[in-house]
Amino acid sequence: MPRIKIAPSILSADLSKINDEIKEVEKHADLIHVDIMDGIFVPPTTVDSDFVKTIRTKVPLDVHLMVHEPSDSYIRGFIDAGAYSITVHEEACKNPAKQLEFIKRNGVRSAISIKPGTALDKIKKYLKMVDMVLIMTVEPGWAGQKFIEPTMPKARELRMMRPGLDIEVDGGINPYTARISFEAGANVFVAGTSVFGKKDRPAAIKEILNALK
């Protein structure tokens, strides 16, 4: 299995002082998870590529596009903003191969995500094109939801199929659910409320890591 990575999600951070918020976690984080919502694929809207350009950190930016049919120019905005990886949703794209090819062609790590109710079979044909699969463990759109444990068989099957693949989980991740996810095969853990919702953010990350030992 690839190494464990912790990805604090700025969806639960104070965006008005985002760089101060990130400074509190960056020494302990492997990625900074950036949720982008367009109000179409999911009802809420969040930040855009111009906002991402204002982020100042050496921690790689893990950009998660909860966006309906993102165009090349839209994706390009996040590439130019410094994205290390970009995730698109199977459910949001008519042919995700188009977006994945564009991402990879521009030297950025590509990933595909599926919602809790989407079968793994839907993305098997894209697995050779991606560096990571994001399994949503809540319905996309809002922070603070309860972890959906019946998503875990997808992680197990995926780990058996692609032993070296990064498998990310996002939604309701805390020390307890991170352990459940890890045992199912996940190695990248998006933590929003369980990190930025705490006063001592480094201690919150360490608590998750300790649960994975």
Q: Where are the domains of the chain?
A: 5-211
Output the CA–CA distances (angstroms, integers) from residue 140 to 23, 65, 88, 90, 94, in the order listed. Answer: 26, 10, 12, 13, 18
The pLDDT score that the predictor gives to residue 124 is 96
In CATH terms, is domain 5-211 a member of 3.20.20.70?
Answer: yes
Question: Is residue 14 among the annotated active site residues?
Answer: no
What is the average pLDDT score of the chain? 97
Rg (CA), the chain: 16
pLDDT mean over 153-157: 98
pLDDT mean over 35-62: 96
The pLDDT score that the predictor gives to residue 55 is 98
pLDDT mean over 138-152: 90
Question: Is residue 170 among the annotated active site residues?
Answer: yes
The answer to whether residue 60 scores a pLDDT higher than 90 is: yes
Please give the Cα distance from 76 to 65 (Å, whole number). Answer: 12
3-state secondary structure (DSSP) of residue 187 = coil
Catalytic residue among 20, 35, 62, 80: 35
Contact 32, 57 (CB under 8 A): yes
Catalytic residue among 20, 62, 170, 200: 170
The pLDDT score that the predictor gives to residue 151 is 98
